[in-house]
A and B are shown apart, each in its own frame.
Chain A
């Protein structure tokens, strides 16, 4: 188990860097996860648009959205989503949005 320290507070991460307690998430944690897990030093407004949509969707449905919904809502084409988050929508974008690791082959 890992931890990530943000603003003097430690947050538990699982073995793959996903947040163990998704409700502790905030934007500072997202920025720290982006640096630590995705190697992204700065999050652009485009990154934030994706992360915020995923976060809002998760809070409403307790699930990660389909990549189709991400593209449709943010207006970014699929290719751009993959480029923005090198580890992909699940291990990249959803992780930064503080979601738990999804079920399935990811």
Chain B
């Protein structure tokens, strides 16, 4: 007996597009492009030199993979609806109607073959913000329900429950209390705290929900470092989710609301600083994108926990013993944190103090390759095989370092790297920077 294939919501939706849908998509596209998108689409010369900067194009010959092809799909619609020649002689300039065929291709290519890592932006002959162009097209698709349902589901869960894994508040609180007991056992200090809703704490710490849900040791590690540094900090009982998948759907109002919850929580608890846990896209979303989504200047500082860790070390607030880590450790640079986020040296400074042998991957820093899991790829199950294939570049990079441990300041990268570890038999351990620091921590004598 053969199982009846389950119907796909996205496929059904693609088959029922109306002219009103297309109009809505085009309007959303225009607004999402903004002047930068319009300028970029007027500036692209179709040189195609971006092709081999992309991990998708480098790992597969499929013609849809080069960034130039992706930009061209976006450009075709721009020209058809917003340029004179594109309207009058579309064939001459490669303008195309946003019909069912092109919409289908937009979904498959712009959602399914791009992790929005921005490596092509950096290396583009002209300097187009290609990730922004693709995000604008994704926004148009999302506006008419053409977002892969697995990605939308993560956004909806975050929007309706307050965190992207739908963790109930009592479960979260219970997990934090359990971790507090663990922290007290580890430090031998019964007054050690994992504070919840501590009003007036200096900083609010935010986490990836997969930490409390499945991988709580990284949260415990952060708590231990804050304890050692004598930090005044707190977690919130309600909004603690650093992620924001709205960055990947392009739906600015939803993305803005998700980030605004953290802003409101900082204000509710009277904190002076929002510290973003180890999460690449969460950093880009909350540090850079959210103030624009919300048209708001934040009255408090937003930093990555990596910058805080570097500050602790620099100011002598924590002491580390690198001999706790004798095996070679390499570092994966999450695109949203490094190339698109500007946190480049802090994690290196921290690792050089926390481990004995720190080896760089090649290339690294802003030139680093994506792990393949960004852009919502990890959530979009339907494209999993492509994601693993595109991750080969990263697997090769790791293999070439001969490191035994890969540090990555991003839980999303961590999951993709774990899959690459299995798929390409790398035999490495994958850890967050906080975990490595916590393991090397020398606690002051009681």
Contacts and interface: CB of A to CB of B under 8 A. Distances in A.
- Tell me, yes or no, whether A and B come into direct contact in the complex with CB atoms closer than 8 A: yes
B249 to A, nearest CB: 13
Contact of A106 (B3, B178, B217, B378): B378
> Chain B's interface: helix, strand, loop or mixed, by majority?
helix
A105 B411 CA distance: 7
A47 interface: no
Interface string B296-327: 00000000000000000000000000000000
Contact of A10 (B1, B209, B412): B1
Contacts of A87: 418, 422
A1 B167 CA distance: 29
Question: How big is the B interface, by class?
Answer: 35 or more
B36 interface: no
A68 B174 contact: yes
A69 B215 contact: no
> Chain A's interface: helix, strand, loop or mixed, by majority?
loop
Contacts of B214: 66-67, 88-90, 106
A59 to B, nearest CB: 16
B383 A15 contact: yes
A11 B3 CA distance: 6
Contact of B3 (A12, A64, A102): A12
B231 interface: no
Contacts of A63: 166
Interface stretch (B41-49, B50-58, B149-157): B149-157
Contact of A88 (B165, B215, B216, B385): B215
B444 interface: no
B164 A104 contact: yes
14 contacts: A1-B5, A12-B5, A15-B382, A15-B385, A16-B384, A67-B213, A67-B214, A67-B216, A68-B216, A88-B215, A103-B154, A104-B157, A104-B165, A105-B210
